[in-house]
Structure 1
Amino acid sequence: MISGHRISGSQGFTLLEVMVALAVVAIGLGAVISEASRNISNASLLEEKTLAHWVATNKVVEMQVSSEWPRAGERKGDVEMAGRDWYWRTIVIDTMDERVKRIDVEVRTAADSERPTARVIAYLGQPS
C-alpha cells in the first residue's frame, strides 16, 4: 500500500540565502579582524611606553644612588633594554633650595625623535 505522503521538491537553502549568509559572516569577520588589529597595536604601544618609563626611572635611580651630586645641565646617552635601543636625555635644574635638584628625564625610541616616549620628573635631595 502506498501511503499518502507526498514527496516535496528539493530541500535546503537557495543560492541567494547562502550568499546572504556568507555576506553576513564576512562582514562580521571583518569587524573582528579590525578590532583584533587595533588591540595588537594598542598592546605594542603600551609595551613601548612601559619600557621607556622603566628606562627613565632607572636613570633617576642611578642619580639617586650615585655618590656624585649632579651639576645643573643637560646630558644625553643611550641604553639597551629588552633588546631595544633607547635614547635618554636628563636635564638637571637648580631649585630655590641649593640642597635640592630637579631632574627631568626624557626617553625616546629614536635619537632624532621630537616627542619623547616617556618623561619623568623627580627631585633629588642632597644627602647630609
Structure 2
Amino acid sequence: MTIASETSCQPGNDGGCRGQRGFTLIEVIVAMTIIATVMVALFRMQSGTINLAGADDFQTTARYLAAKALAQIELSIDDPELKGEFDQAFKGYAWQCEVTDVNANFSDIMPNLADKVGTLKKIDLTITREHGDRSYHVETFRYAPAS
C-alpha cells in the first residue's frame, strides 16, 4: 500500500491556482511604502529630539559660563572689549564682551549717589561654541564707581 500525496491545482480566473494563499506584488509594494513612510517619520522625530537635547545642553552650559565670564568681566570692567576661552572642562566654548558707557542721571533715581562719581556700564556678552552653530547672548548693566 502506497500513499501518494498529490497537490491539485484548479485554475482560477486570473490564471493562477485557486485556493493558494499569498500576496500579490502590488500588495507587497503598498506595504513596503507604508513601512518606509513610517520609518522616515520616526527618524525625523528622533533627529528632532537629538537636536533639542543638544540645544538644551548648550543653553544650560552657556548660562553657567555667562555667569562665570561676568564675574571675570567685573574685575576689569573698564576694558572696552574683552574676550577669552574657558578652561579645559569647557573646551570649545569662547566668550566675547563689549562694554560701553551709558549716560545716566542718578540724582533722580538715587539721590544719595548724586555726589558720587561713577558710570553705568552696558555689558554685551556672547557665548559661542567652537562649531559656531549656537550662541548665547546676555545684555546687562553694572554701576562702576570712580576709582
Structure 1 length as normaliser, TM-score? Answer: 0.68
Are 2:52 and 1:42 equivalent residues in the alignment? yes
Greater Cα radius of gyration, structure 1 or 2: 2
8 Å Cα contact 2:102-2:122 kept in structure 1: yes
CA distance in 2, matches of 1:106, 1:81: 19
- Aligned with residue 23 of structure 2, among 7, 13, 16: 13
Quick one: structure 1 residues 23 and 116, their matched pair in 2 at CA, closer, same or farther if it must change by over 3 Å?
Answer: closer
Quote the offset at 1:104 in angstroms. Answer: 1.4
The number of residues matched between the two structures is: 116
Structure 2 length as normaliser, TM-score? Answer: 0.61
Quote the offset at 1:51 in angstroms. Answer: 2.1
Q: State the match for 1:93 in structure 2.
A: 100
- Aligned with residue 41 of structure 2, among 7, 31, 37: 31
CA distance in 2, matches of 1:82, 1:18: 53
Counterpart secondary structure, 2:92:
strand
Structure 1 gap ranges (5+): 1-7
| Larger RCO (CA under 8 A, 6+ residues apart) | 1
Structure 2 gap ranges (5+): 1-17, 105-117
CA distance in 1, matches of 2:76, 2:33: 68
Quote the offset at 1:71 in angstroms. Answer: 0.9
CA distance in 1, matches of 2:33, 2:122: 60
Q: State the match for 2:137 in structure 1.
A: 119
Q: State the match for 1:5 in structure 2.
A: none
Identity within the alignment, %: 25
Give the residue type in structure 1 aligned to 2:83.
K
